[in-house]
Each structure stands twice: as C-alpha cells, then as structure tokens.
Structure 1
C-alpha cells in the first residue's frame, strides 16, 4: 500500500519558498544528495497543490531539469485544484478534492510513495490524518520570510518520530514518521 510522504527543502528558519513563492534561493543549495537520489527511486506519484504546480521552478534555467520534480523525476502528477485548465496536460490529472486526489495518486503509485509537494496540501493531508512521513532537507540559509514548511494559525502539536538523519554537502536531511 502506498504511503504519503511530504518532502521539501527548507531554510534553517523554516521557509520552503521565499516571499511570493520565490524558489530562486534554492538553486545554490541543490547539489549532490545521495539520500534524495534514493528517495526519488521510491516515488510512484506526485500529489501537488495548484500554487506549487504553477509556481516558481528552481530548475527553470536548466532545459533538461525544468518542470520536473526534483529536476529528474518523471511520472504521474495529481494536482489538487478547483480550477482545472481547459486543455489537458500529459501525465497530469487535475482533481478537485483531497480524498479523490489521494485515492487516485495512491493507485497510480503502485505501492511506492506518493510524494506530497506544497505546504497547503501537506497541511490538509496532516489534518485529515493521511500523511505518513515527512522528509526535509534543511539548507544552511536564513530567508526571514516566505512560505513556511508548516503553518497552522492558532498552533497545533503534530508529533513526529525521527527515523533518519543524514548529511549531504549542501543540506542536512531529516526523515520523520507522523505519530
């Protein structure tokens, strides 16, 4: 059975995108990371929010990597949105609600992980009790503002159990199970 994994690179102060969704800060922190390379092989489908899907791409200046999750992953994408485009996109399914999106993504993942991309979709999955794991690459930079990894107005306490910690030249990788 496929599991849901939220993965992101974040700044040390907890931002995964800069102000306005700017991802340009990430480019200099992308580099060799054997843990991420292994993770990419474990992903069978992507569940992504509309804002992230249509947002800034840290690989936009590299024609071989642009538009691909992790700069190299290729497979089925499920975009959670209430505003699907009129023209279909190959390999992309636009889905209007979380339950339908998760069910379809898990079926397409074929027992591999469904990788969740986007802070809002990850928050929705957490609130619905659907998220199984969190994988975060912590980049050695402070952004000061932007899109937080997890934002829940009024606060909440989501318990996590660390299951792995590895080092890469440009990040510290942390993997947690949602308890």
Structure 2
C-alpha cells in the first residue's frame, strides 16, 4: 500500500470538490486522530485529518473526500441518513458511515499501572486515572503513570495537584473504609 502525502491529497480533494459542485468550499487539514474527515457547513469547509491522511492510500483518501462532499451537498440537517447515503453513492462513495482502514496513528500518550496494564490516549490526560483492568472503581493503588512518545514528561500542575489530593485522601481514610 502506497500512502499519500498531503500535497497529493490536497490535489485529489480539490479536484473532486470541483467535479461535484463544492469547488467554492475551502479544504483544510486538521489534527484529528480518530476521525478522518468532517464537513463544516457553517464555514463551507471540508476538513481532512492530516495524521490519518498521511497513513491512507489513494482509495481511502478518495472515499473520505467523497463522504465529506456528500455531506456538503445534502446540507447540515441530514447526518448519515438515506438522503446522504443516496448522494454519497451517486458520486462514487460507498455510503458507509465510517472508514474501514488499517490506518491508525500511534497513541502519543501511553500509561501503565503498577501491574503493567496499558492505557493509550492521543491527547494528554487531564485527570489522574486508575487502571480499568485492575478494578471497576478508582483505586489509588492502580493509578496509571503516563509517558509521552516513550519519554517521561511532567504532567500539568493541575494534574499533579489532583493526583496529590487523591493520594492524601487515600492515606487519611480509616482502614476498611
């Protein structure tokens, strides 16, 4: 599979946008890592995920662009309804709601609990969490420690303060509570 670079993806997207009547709309690249594209009717803009496009081949980028063009053509009130699906298929998209691809960027944030279970996030965690595999409720003994792109990095002051408060509260609880 040969992935597309952003210049190729832009050229393809603009060509398709002109072909299907939304050439006056803008094309932007965003930083989303869980959604390959979006249609912003309020700004007359189609947004493609730069991190995901860089992992996709031409057919996947084409499907994503056609999916968003179909949204632009049917208007903001249709979502993924039958009217949207009909337009999507008419212009050459599959009409599927989500892209089925192996393209997925690595998670920047990887956390581990004391037992070695992993948690992954694309964004910096805002609040301390305990391991979901170790138990269903919050447990200070199963708190997850985070690394960013494989490196130890300090968490935000607010995160550290919240973690310190949780640890202090756990120490002050009477035995068996």
TM over 0.5: no
- Between Structure 1 and Structure 2, whose CA radius of gyration is higher? 2
Give the number of the structure whose residues are more often strand, by fraction.
1
TM-score (norm 2): 0.25
TM-score (norm 1): 0.24
Give the number of the structure whose residues are more often helix, by fraction.
2
Query: Using CA pairs below 8 Å that are at least 6 residues apart, which structure has the higher relative contact order?
Result: 1
